[in-house]
Amino acid sequence: MWPVTSRGGAVYQAPIFVNAAGAWADMVAAMAGVRPVGLVPKRRTAMLFDPPADQNSGNWPLVIDMDEQWYFKPDAGKLLGSPADETPIEPCDVQPEELDIAIAVDRIERMTNLKVGRIDHRWSGLRTFAEDKTVVVGFAPDAAGFFWLAGQGGYGIETSPAMATATASLIVDGKLPDRFAELGLSPADIAPDRLLG
Ligand SMILES: Cc1cc2nc3c(=O)[nH]c(=O)nc-3n(C[C@H](O)[C@H](O)[C@H](O)COP(=O)(O)OP(=O)(O)OC[C@H]3O[C@@H](n4cnc5c(N)ncnc54)[C@H](O)[C@@H]3O)c2cc1C
């Protein structure tokens, strides 16, 4: 990426490397000689199963216990359930564990009158967190042009429009859009510096 940037008031063209490698972001940083920020990938498991035949589950809400030990929600005619697991794991092509599926079934069946029955599909993925569970968005203090866009944890789909906007604005203008400041967010809140001690 070779944008014209105006950081610090000076307009210049410089190579920018955006590190958006998810669970691998610390490894990619290390490969580039940049100090990792201490990201921890955590496995999260999900499964799809049929709702009760006599119910219109399409308008059911997300149902989640107060301690976030399980949840389910409607998903395209099925129910998507999860044990809300957060197992720390090295970055990898993660696969679901039978035990986590069994835990999800057990918790949902014990706390509701649902019968999970046949599981249509099961999978797991990595949710990657910084120590303070806040996104890491900003230039590395120790490498010119190296930009972090990582640590989106369990909410990276919902936050992606805002974080993409923040990224473009920080790179091109050297600041967050005004409406972010109006909401009380400053670049320091999400900058990698806060994690580097
Ligand atoms: C089961 C589950 C349920 C979730 N539910 C929700 C939800 O309801 N709402 C929500 O907002 N979020 C949810 N999330 C979280 C969301 O998926 C993540 O926060 C989001 O995907 C993070 O986006 P990312 O782009 O930072 O990382 P990723 O989506 O992991 O993308 C990183 C990409 O970089 C690639 N990559 C890595 N290394 C390299 C390399 N060296 N070269 C080239 N490419 C590389 C990877 O292959 C990957 O495609 C869920 C996650 C899981 C696992």
The ligand 1 atom nearest the CA atom of 126: 53
Q: Look at residue 79 and give its three-state secondary structure.
A: strand
Answer yes or no: do 99 and 79 share one domain: yes
Answer yes or no: do 64 and 49 share one domain: yes
In this predicted structure, the answer to whether residue 9 has a pLDDT above a threshold of 70 is: no
**pLDDT for position 116:** 96
Residue with CA closest to ligand 1 atom 52? 125
Answer yes or no: do 8 and 73 share one domain: no
Q: Is 48 in the pocket of ligand 1 (CB under 6 A)?
A: no
**pLDDT for position 197:** 85
Tokens of 107: 């918790």
Cα 17 to Cα 28: distance, rounded to the nearest angstrom: 11
Domain boundary among 80, 107, 128: 128
Within 10 Å of residue 5's Cβ, how many Cβ atoms? 18
Average pLDDT over residues 2-15: 59
Q: Look at residue 49 and give its three-state secondary structure.
A: strand
Answer yes or no: do 120 and 52 share one domain: yes
In this predicted structure, the answer to whether residue 94 has a pLDDT above a threshold of 60 is: yes
**pLDDT for position 151:** 98
Residues 6+ apart with CB under 8 A from 159: 135, 152
Per residue in 159-189, pLDDT (tens digit) is 999 999 999 999 999 999 999 999 999 999 9
Cα 4 to Cα 172: distance, rounded to the nearest angstrom: 7
In this predicted structure, the answer to whether residue 117 has a pLDDT above a threshold of 80 is: yes
Answer yes or no: do 52 and 81 share one domain: yes
Average pLDDT over residues 44-73: 96
Answer yes or no: do 10 and 68 share one domain: no
* Extended beta strands in 53-142, E state: 63-64, 71-75, 78-82, 87-88, 119-129, 136-139
Nearest to 73 by CA among 84, 60, 83: 60
More confident residue, 15 or 49: 49
Looking at residue 60, the DSSP 8-state letter turns out to be P
Radius of gyration of the chain (CA): 20
Answer yes or no: do 15 and 59 share one domain: no
Answer yes or no: do 166 and 187 share one domain: yes
Contact present, 128 and 40 (Cβ < 8 Å): yes
Q: Is 152 in the pocket of ligand 1 (CB under 6 A)?
A: yes
Domain that holds residue 95: 41-128
Q: Is 155 in the pocket of ligand 1 (CB under 6 A)?
A: yes
Q: Is 130 in the pocket of ligand 1 (CB under 6 A)?
A: no
CATH number for position 122: 3.30.9.10
Pocket test residue of 157, 158, 163, 167 for ligand 1, highest count of atoms within 8 A of CB: 157
**pLDDT for position 3:** 55
**Cα 59 to averaged position of ligand 1 atoms, centre (Å):** 27
Answer yes or no: do 138 and 121 share one domain: no
Answer yes or no: do 143 and 183 share one domain: yes
**pLDDT for position 1:** 53
Q: Is 43 in the pocket of ligand 1 (CB under 6 A)?
A: no
Average pLDDT over residues 65-87: 97
Q: Is 158 in the pocket of ligand 1 (CB under 6 A)?
A: yes
**pLDDT for position 12:** 52
Domain boundary among 128, 158, 181: 128
Residues 6+ apart with CB under 8 A from 11: 4, 5
Answer yes or no: do 109 and 78 share one domain: yes
Answer yes or no: do 30 and 60 share one domain: no
**Cα 125 to averaged position of ligand 1 atoms, centre (Å):** 8
Looking at residue 143, the DSSP 8-state letter turns out to be S
pTM of the model: 0.92
Task: Tally the domains of the chain.
Answer: 2
CATH number for position 13: 3.50.50.60
Domain boundary among 105, 128, 151: 128
**pLDDT for position 4:** 56
Strands 40-49 and 78-82, by their bridges, are: antiparallel
The ligand 1 atom nearest the CA atom of 155: 11
Cα 96 to Cα 63: distance, rounded to the nearest angstrom: 22
Average pLDDT over residues 120-143: 97
Cα 164 to Cα 186: distance, rounded to the nearest angstrom: 15
